[in-house]
Amino acid sequence: MAITVDPEPVWDQPIDVPEKWIESVDDNVAARLPEGSQVKGITPYGASYWTRTAEIQTEQADGASQSFFLKVTQNEVGKAMVSGEYESMKALHTTSPDLTPEPIAWGTFAQADHVHFFLCDFVDMTDDLPDVEASMKMLAELHAKSTSPTGKYGFHIPTLQGTVPQFTAWTESWEDFFAKSIKLVFENEERSQGSDEEVQQLCKETLSKVVPRLLRPLETGGRHIEPRLIHGDIWDGNTSTNVATSLPVIYDATCIYAHNELELAPLRPVRHRMGKQYVKAYFRNYPISPPEEDQDDRNALYCLRWDMNCSTLYPGNLRYRKMCVEVMKTLTEKYADGYEGWAKARGEEVVSR
């Protein structure tokens, strides 16, 4: 239930959270275990750039052995990370209990009020990628079953992409929500990596031309989409196969109610092992939103948001920024006429926002 480290890491800094916090089980963590649990041990488990993670071994009141997964963070950002993950996993588990570990609690250590934790069931997982057809069928079913409690796009508390809060305020239209979301990502990336005139201009044109062109048609001309609960960070580091059930499992969620196709953004980069075959399988179970011919470019735009956030997370490493510049050049050149030019060419009424 932790980030799988890239074989060529983009970040070589030490983990901010001292290992001592997972050498024993804090009283507040122990208090959230099932009644009658006896802690038998705790061992490091998994790998993460920003947290410490561990397996807690227990003996239950009936004598059975049971393990739990613990994630430990620090300070206010860490508190937001674990509270957001808990609420995300709770929403996912409520909708699709076979797809996720059951979240148990989040809280603050008794022995250190700046240390925070997320606790959930421990799932023994394989080292293999999840089955293509089974995983995408279950993901599509999650999206189909979930509905926004407000009918709007967003989430009820902040959720983070890595250590960076994403835009979650409830918003009526998808175009408006996504524009505010990616604008925040652009601003965060500039603060992290520094100002660049070319990047600023490309970001401006992306917001003014590409976002309206690719997203406004989803909600105009008789077309319609609904906000769906998405995991928010589906890639091979956050998915696996449950050893006990042989079913796919997803974890490390950063949920929002969004256009369901946003979920597929992390499956675009060729650096990830989960790729096009998963996207194709997904669309065998959930129809492409019209205009269907825009799907691949929408995916590129959605992936731009994801990769720009990756750039934010690793200050000084311009690998992601360079990739994003090329994507923005391609999209801004292709859609220089924006939404208005597209609508007029199709004979559709131009809808202003």
Angle, helices 132-145/75-95, rounded to nearest 10 degrees: 90
Q: How far is CA 27 from the centre of its chain?
A: 30
Torsion of CA 56, 252, 125, 228, to 10 degrees: 130
- Tokens 């597209």 -> residue: 342
pLDDT of amino acid 270:
86
Q: How much is the pLDDT for 245?
A: 93
The structure tokens 């990769």 sit at 307
Share of the chain above pLDDT 90, in %: 92
| pLDDT in the model for residue 4 | 32
Band of residue 15 on the pLDDT scale cut at 50, 70, 90: confident
> Strand, coil or helix: what is 208?
helix
Question: What pLDDT, on a 0 to 100 scale, did the predictor assign at position 12?
Answer: 58
Listed residue (72, 176, 148) closest to 114, CA to CA? 72
pLDDT at residue 25 in the model = 98
Parallel/antiparallel/unpaired status of strands 38-44 and 103-108: unpaired
pLDDT 10s digits, 230-247: 999 999 999 999 999 999
The pLDDT value recorded for residue 127 is 87
The whole-number average pLDDT for the span 111-120 is 98
pLDDT at 7 exceeding the cut of 80: no
**Is the pLDDT confidence value at 164 over 90?**
yes
Taking residues 128-149, what's their average pLDDT?
97
**pLDDT tens digit sequence for 250-273:** 999 999 999 999 999 999 998 888
Q: Is the Cβ–Cβ distance between 102 and 93 less than 8 Å?
A: yes
The per-residue pLDDT for 47 is: 75
Backbone Cα Rg of the chain: 21
Q: Which letter does DSSP use for residue 53 in this model?
A: E
Instruction: Please tell me the distance from the alpha carbon of residue 353 to that of residue 348, in angstroms, as a whole number.
Output: 15
Cα atoms found within 13 Å of the Cα of residue 62, Cβ hemisphere only: 3
Q: Which two tokens stand for residue 151?
A: 């009918």
3-state secondary structure of 28: helix
Is residue 311 within 8 A of residue 305, CB to CB? The reply is: no
pTM: 0.94
- As a whole number, the mean pLDDT across the chain is 94
Least confident span in 40-54, 71-85, 195-209: 40-54
Q: What is the pLDDT of residues 24-57, one digit of tens each?
A: 999 999 999 999 999 999 999 987 788 999 999 9
Average pLDDT over residues 203-227: 98
pLDDT, mean of residues 130-158? 97
Q: Is 58 exposed, middle or buried (0-12, 13-18, 19+ CB in 10 A)?
A: buried
Helix, strand or coil, per DSSP, at residue 216: helix
292: buried, middle or exposed (CB in 10 Å: 19+, 13-18, 0-12)? Answer: exposed
- Residue pair 293/171 in contact (Cβ under 8 Å)? The answer is no
Residue 46: the pLDDT is: 84
Average pLDDT over residues 89-114: 97
Helix, strand, or coil here: 176?
helix
* Percentage above 70 pLDDT, the chain: 96
Residue 3 has pLDDT above 70, yes or no: no
Task: Report pLDDT for 14.
Answer: 66
Give the pLDDT mean for 73-99: 97
Contact 228, 143 (CB under 8 A): yes
pLDDT of residue 16: 84
Indicate whether 313 pLDDT > 50: yes
